[in-house]
Amino acid sequence: MKKIFVVTVLTLLFLVLVYSVLEMPDFASLNSPAYNELARYYVENAIEEAHATNVIAAIITDYRAFDTLGETTVLFTSILAVTSVLKGKKHE
Amino acid sequence: MNDLIVKTIVRWVIPFIQVFGVYVIFYGHVSFGGGFSGGALIGASLILYAITFGLKASKKMVPHKRSQWMESLGILWYIALGIVGIYASGYFLGNKTAGFFMGEAGQLLSAGIIPLLTIGIGVKVASTMITLFQKLVEENEDV
Amino acid sequence: MFDALLKHMNYIAAMALFVIGLYTVLMHQNLIKKVIGINIMETSVFLFFVSIGMVQKGQAPIINLSDASVTYVNPIPSALILTGIVVAVSITAYSLSLIIQLYKQYGTLNLDEMVDEVEHD
């Protein structure tokens, strides 16, 4: 009974999601709004300004290095959270 | 694990995995890879050692104090490079404006601050993976 | 109609993975299977985001110094997803540590039995 109800609701959700995904621009088209002048700027000027051949490494450590600092803080916080829940064998 | 075949093969394979991980970290700005994938490779090799040879052998190789120091040194190295950028030019984490050594594109010694930051990220991710694994397994230590 | 479905194949696969992950979270009673379902949903979001950046006849964004007329793939969505993957790993680690504490307290990993034990207290 619960299984039939869940399967029906999830099928309806899948149909709604597919209907709204079909409105997006085609896969791998050259005039999609995501391929704007910022992506072309990064690809063309990565060698002159950062002298690095790997464009993604130049983005995450040179153009947007502050976001990578926030992400290393997320890794540090996850260790704090796990250590505060599991305290080891000596409790008292 | 008391299997002889698994122990022999793992003892031969772990140095090659670590050398490949160090290669992926050091050539992060020239070819594929970067800090996160290289750090995940080194962390995976340490977890493989802990699964095969037991928790006690893994704690002798990476004790708790050493992984604590590596974790804190990774993030302090990142912030120290940023403060050097404030002194050299006006910008936090500046690359070309702060006067780091640039070199030619495509060589190993090039691109200023990028290899230094990549090494910091790689050390931090590897130490996070082995610390989390040891903490989660420590609860049932006699199993 | 089939033409439109074939042109958006990656996005439809991402939506299917999302619905499969949601079914796993809702139907199974074991707590570890629910954590696996959350991981499947996160993977579907990463697939959706990265396949937005594909460009026709594009290659991986490692600049070839001897060839100047190659089109490269959009590098921005890949750089944003690297941070997302690390957040997913942190959430999985924290939820697994909470499951360890629940197992020590109640002695079972089944959600129905845990609710019964709390209600009969």
DSSP, residue by residue, chain B? ---HHHHHHHHHHHHHHHHHHHHHHHTTTTSS--HHHHHHHHHHHHHHHHHHH-HHHHHHHS-HHHHHHHHHHHHHHHHHHHHHHHHHSSSTT-STTTT-----TTSSS-STTHHHHHHHHHHHHHHHHHHHHHHHHGGGTT-
Distance of CA B101 to the CA centre of its chain: 23
Substitution target in A27, A36, A42 with the highest count of C β-carbons within 10 Å is A27
Question: Chain C contacts of A30, Cβ < 8 Å?
Answer: 55-56
Among chain A, residues having any CB pair with chain C shorter than 8 Å are 3, 6-7, 10, 13-14, 17-18, 21-22, 24, 26-30, 32, 34-35, 38-39, 42-43, 46-47, 53-56, 59-60, 64, 67-68, 70-71, 74-75, 77-78, 81-82, 85-86
B32-60 pLDDT, tens digit each: 888 999 999 999 999 999 999 999 999 99
Residue C106 included in any domain: yes
Mean per-residue pLDDT for A49-78? Answer: 92
Q: What secondary structure does DSSP assign to C6-43, as a single string?
A: HHTHHHHHHHHHHHHHHHHHHH--BHHHHHHHHHHHHH
Give the pLDDT score at C21: 96
Task: Map tokens 């893994």 to a residue.
Answer: B58
Domain that holds residue C40: 2-53+73-119
Residue C68 included in any domain: no
Length of chain A equals 92
The alpha carbon dihedral of B110, B112, B113, B114 has a sign of negative
Nearest to B139 among C86, C93, C100 (CB): C100
Give the pLDDT score at C15: 95
Give the pLDDT score at A89: 57
Give the pLDDT score at B143: 47
Number of domain units in chain B: 1
How far is residue B94's CA from residue B100's CA, in Å, rounded to a whole number?
A: 9
pTM: 0.89
Give the pLDDT score at C66: 84
Residue C10 included in any domain: yes
Residue B79 binned pLDDT confidence (cut-offs 50, 70, 90): very high
ipTM score: 0.86
Rounded to the nearest 10°, the torsion over CA C93, C99, C100, C102 is: 150
Give the pLDDT score at B140: 74
Substitution target in A12, A17, A80 with the highest count of C β-carbons within 10 Å is A17
Which two tokens mark B50?
A: 């802990």
Q: Which residues contact A68 (CB under 8 A, 6 or more apart)?
A: A60, A61, B117, B121, C83
From residue B99, alpha-carbon distances to B59, B103, B114, C115 in Å are: 42, 12, 13, 62
Say if residue B80's pLDDT is above 70.
Answer: yes
Give the pLDDT score at A90: 56
Give the pLDDT score at A56: 93
Residue C35 included in any domain: yes
**Of B76-80, B110-114, B128-132, B136-140, which range is least confident?**
B136-140
Here the CATH number for the domain that contains residue C9 is: 1.10.287.3510
Number of domain units in chain C: 1
Residues of chain C with pLDDT under 50: none
Nearest chain C residue to A74 by CA distance is C87
Mean per-residue pLDDT for B111-135? Answer: 93
A9-60 pLDDT, tens digit each: 999 999 999 999 998 888 888 888 888 889 999 998 888 888 899 999 999 9
> What is the identity of the amino acid at A13?
L
Cross-chain Cβ contact B135/C82 below 8 Å? no
Question: Chain A contacts of C50, Cβ < 8 Å?
Answer: none
> What is the identity of the amino acid at B41?
L
The count of other CB atoms within 10 Å of the CB of residue A36 is 11
Domain that holds residue B72: 4-140
Q: What percent of chain B has pLDDT over 70?
A: 98
Residue C77 included in any domain: yes
Is residue C111 within 8 A of residue C79, CB to CB? The reply is no
